[in-house]
Amino acid sequence: MTALGVHDLDVDLGGRPVLRNVRLHVDPGELVGLVGPNGAGKTTLLRAILALVRTRSGRVLVDGAPSRPGRSAIGYVPQRHEFAWEFPISVEQAVLSGRTRRVGLLRRPQVADWRAVAEAVDRVRLADLRHRPVGELSGGQRQRVLVARALALQPALLLLDEPFTGLDLPTQELLSDLFTGLAAEGKALLMTTHDLIGAMDSCSRLVLLNQRVIAEGTPDELRDPQVWMRTFGVSERSPLLRIVGAG
């Protein structure tokens, strides 16, 4: 079964069109890169998948069922500025907060919850920092906390919003290996990214988005310079075409 299906999706924000007739799918075992210029609607699409924005028309199906706010089958990694790092909580507590809707606001975490947190923290290589306050972490460590927070839900579908922005190369490599490993284990991942070189190297498929899907396919299938020019609004002289091997 397809883990994520987006069918003819239209979204308006503030009275203006942001997404039009968007169609895409992500199957178990895929890491799909969602690429496009700033303002293309990438983050809005993730929020529509999470049912956090009103859609004008279309459907979003997760494991064959309509997406609902707080759906436990979706793990979401937001951009780092969206998390309140000034809260006086530890890495372990921040990761546990990802399971709030499963645990419940007024219930104490059970053994299974702490086990899921420990596995997620270990997966992102932060076990030695699990008691450290999140406000004392570096940017790369904070990004790994957000990934662990999503993994603690043990989701079938993982949405990643610009997970590599502002990270050093070792942290980018660590996370890239983690994401490809999760896909190899059968997870479905949809990732927005400006790192075109990394996306071409690690993603199963790419979806080129600018309000609508301009093209999609494996990196080897997306060598036509015209689709990149249409997506990013660049000329045939743009170095972007050389970066993606379409120049």
Q: What is the arithmetic mean of pLDDT over 67-86?
A: 83
Q: Are 93 and 120 in contact (CB under 8 A)?
A: no
Rounded Cα gap, residues 43 and 162, in angstroms: 9
Look up the pTM and report it.
0.93
The conformation of residue 194, written as its DSSP 8-state character, comes to S
191-246 pLDDT tens trace: 999 999 999 999 999 999 999 999 999 999 999 999 999 999 999 999 999 989 87
Rounded Cα gap, residues 230 and 206, in angstroms: 15
Split at pLDDT 50, 70, 90, the class of 65 is confident
Rounded Cα gap, residues 198 and 177, in angstroms: 11
28-61 pLDDT tens trace: 999 999 999 999 999 999 999 999 999 999 999 9
Give the sheet arrangement for strand 205-210, strand by strand.
74-77, 157-161, 188-192, 31-35, 205-210, 212-217
Please give the distance of CA 152 from its chain centroid, rounded to a whole number.
15
Predicted pLDDT of residue 110: 82
The conformation of residue 137, written as its DSSP 8-state character, comes to -
Q: Are 30 and 204 in contact (CB under 8 A)?
A: yes
Mean of the per-residue pLDDT values for the chain? Answer: 91
Q: Which domains does the chain have, with CATH numbers?
A: 1-23+43-70 (no CATH), 72-192 (3.40.50.300), 195-230 (no CATH)
Split at pLDDT 50, 70, 90, the class of 82 is confident
Strands 16-26 and 157-161: unpaired
